[in-house]
């Protein structure tokens, strides 16, 4: 069910809230909305209370009045507002890409609200210099040519190429959804991602199970760099998925099952 919440700082916040049971919160990446998790929500909500916020400018959440205020910390606050509203004491957080950066900011501020963390095609490290430069070029492209053309070129590149060839209509649909996000919010998110700090130290100190999911064909998050994170936590699980790019929630039909095992494991870790 889609819910709306009015809040003085964020104006209107929209989020999906489906199912009952232990809570799992799905944080979407750039340039998506909670709708990217539609298939996962359907599967997970049979067993878990599945909550998926829309960040500002996505879904029916208002764009920020001052886009330059965007930060991973602000988005983490939006997640906390929803958890407080719904009286969810603790949850397993699953963050896809930018959503993973938000999950790390959330862990920095509200670790006691977490039972587990899954970084889905994401990293706890800050941007490399190369990545920052690529973001500057993307911002310039949006400012010159507009976000519609930018997203038409950028979004298909997040999938493994065979997937785009086999499912052109589905990918096109996802491009169209991403084009609803205002250009100024896209630019604000790029700037916010560039500013985020390295939070890999938290992987060492968080006392919760941590899972990493990577795609072998992900050109946005390079596997070699990402793999250096996996030995930092005291309790980590790693899935490296073949024939998968940056979008396993769409590309990999068994992702729901992997997450189900992980959430179950987080629940058992609380008892055991
Ligand atoms: C995302 O999917 O959220 C983006 O690829 C994140 C990024 O650009 O680092």
Q: Specify the 3-state DSSP secondary structure of 250.
A: helix
Q: What is the pLDDT of residue 269?
A: 83
The pocket around ligand 1, CB under 6 angstroms, is made up of 29-30, 97-98, 193, 220, 246
Angle between helix 147-154 and 183-195 (nearest 10): 60
pLDDT of residue 271: 57
Residue 237: closest CA among 258, 211, 255 = 211
CB 216 within 8 A of CB 243: yes
Contact 216, 247 (CB under 8 A): no
User: How far away, in angstroms, is 39 Cα from ligand 1 center?
Assistant: 20
Q: pLDDT for 5-25, tens place per residue? A: 999 999 999 999 999 999 999
pLDDT at res. 245? 97
Q: Which of 220, 246, 250 to mutate to test the pocket of ligand 1 (most atoms within 8 A of CB)?
A: 220
Whether 74 has a pLDDT exceeding 80, the answer reads: yes
DSSP H stretches of helix in 96-243: 98-110, 129-145, 147-154, 161-166, 168-178, 183-195, 200-205, 223-226
How would residue 138 be classed by pLDDT, with cut points 50, 70 and 90? very high
Distance from Cα 121 to the centre of ligand 1, integer Å: 9
pLDDT above 70: residue 272: no
Which of 127, 156, 193, 194 is the pocket-test mutation for ligand 1 (most atoms within 8 Å of CB)? 193
Give the mean pLDDT of 176-196: 98
Which mutation among 26, 29, 55 tests ligand 1's pocket best, with the greatest number of atoms within 8 A of CB? Answer: 29
User: What's the start-to-end Cα distance of the chain, in Å?
Assistant: 33
Ligand 1 binding pocket mutation candidate from 26, 30, 190 (most atoms within 8 A of CB): 30
CB 4 within 8 A of CB 12: yes
Q: What is the mean pLDDT of the chain?
A: 97
Which tens digit of pLDDT belongs to each residue from 154-167? 999 999 999 999 99
From atom 4 of ligand 1, which residue's Cα is the shortest distance away?
30
pLDDT of residue 224: 86
Looking at residue 225, its pLDDT comes to: 83
> What b/e string do you get for 209-221 counting C-beta neighbours within 10 Å, with b at 16 or more?
bbbbbbbebbebb
Q: How confident is the model at residue 170, as a pLDDT?
A: 98
Mean pLDDT of 194-214: 97
Predicted pLDDT of residue 4: 98
Predicted pLDDT of residue 253: 87
SS (H, E, C) 24-46: EEEECCCCCCHHHHHHHHHHHCC
Question: What is the whole-number distance in angstroms between the Cα of residue 47 and the centre of ligand 1?
Answer: 29
Whether pLDDT at 216 is above 60: yes
The answer to whether the CB of 116 falls within 8 A of the CB of 211 is yes
Mean pLDDT of all residues in 222-250: 94
CA nearest 74: which of 177, 204, 189, 200?
189
Rounded to the nearest angstrom, the distance between the alpha carbon of 21 and the centre of ligand 1 is: 30
Atom of ligand 1 nearest to the CA of 30: 3
CA of 44 to the centre of ligand 1 (A): 23
- Cα 195 to middle of ligand 1, angstroms: 14
Query: Which one, of 256, 265, 251, lies nearest residue 92 by Cα?
Result: 265
pLDDT above 70: residue 222: yes
pTM of the model: 0.97
Q: Say how far apart CA 164 and CA 171 lie, in whole Å.
A: 6
Preceding omega of 118 cis (within 30 degrees of 0): no
């Amino acid at each position: 069910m889609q819910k709306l919440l009015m809040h003085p700082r964020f104006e209107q916040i929209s989020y999906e809230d489906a199912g009952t049971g232990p809570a799992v919160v799905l944080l979407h990446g750039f340039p998506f909305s909670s709708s990217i998790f539609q298939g996962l929500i359907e599967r997970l909500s049979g067993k878990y209370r599945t909550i998926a916020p829309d960040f500002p400018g996505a879904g029916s959440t208002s764009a920020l009045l001052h886009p330059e205020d965007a930060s991973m910390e602000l988005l983490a606050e939006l997640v906390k507002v929803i958890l407080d509203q719904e009286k969810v004491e603790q949850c397993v957080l699953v963050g896809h890409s930018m959503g993973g950066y938000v999950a790390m900011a959330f862990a920095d501020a509200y670790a006691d609200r977490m039972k587990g963390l899954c970084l889905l095609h994401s990293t706890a490290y800050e941007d490399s210099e190369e990545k920052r430069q690529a973001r500057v070029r993307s911002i310039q492209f949006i400012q010159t040519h507009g976000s519609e053309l930018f997203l038409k070129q950028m979004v298909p590149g997040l999938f493994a190429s065979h997937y785009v060839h086999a499912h052109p209509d589905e990918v096109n649909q996802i491009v169209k959804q991403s084009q609803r996000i205002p250009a100024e919010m896209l630019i604000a998110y790029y700037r916010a991602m560039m500013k985020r700090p390295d939070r890999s130290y938290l992987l060492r100190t968080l006392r919760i199970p941590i899972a990493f999911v990577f795609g072998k064909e992900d050109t946005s998050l390079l596997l070699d760099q990402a793999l250096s994170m996996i030995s930092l936590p005291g309790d980590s699980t790693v899935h490296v998925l073949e024939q998968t790019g940056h979008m396993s929630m769409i590309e990999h039909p068994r992702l729901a099952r992997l997450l189900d095992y992980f959430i179950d494991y987080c629940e058992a870790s609380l008892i055991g």
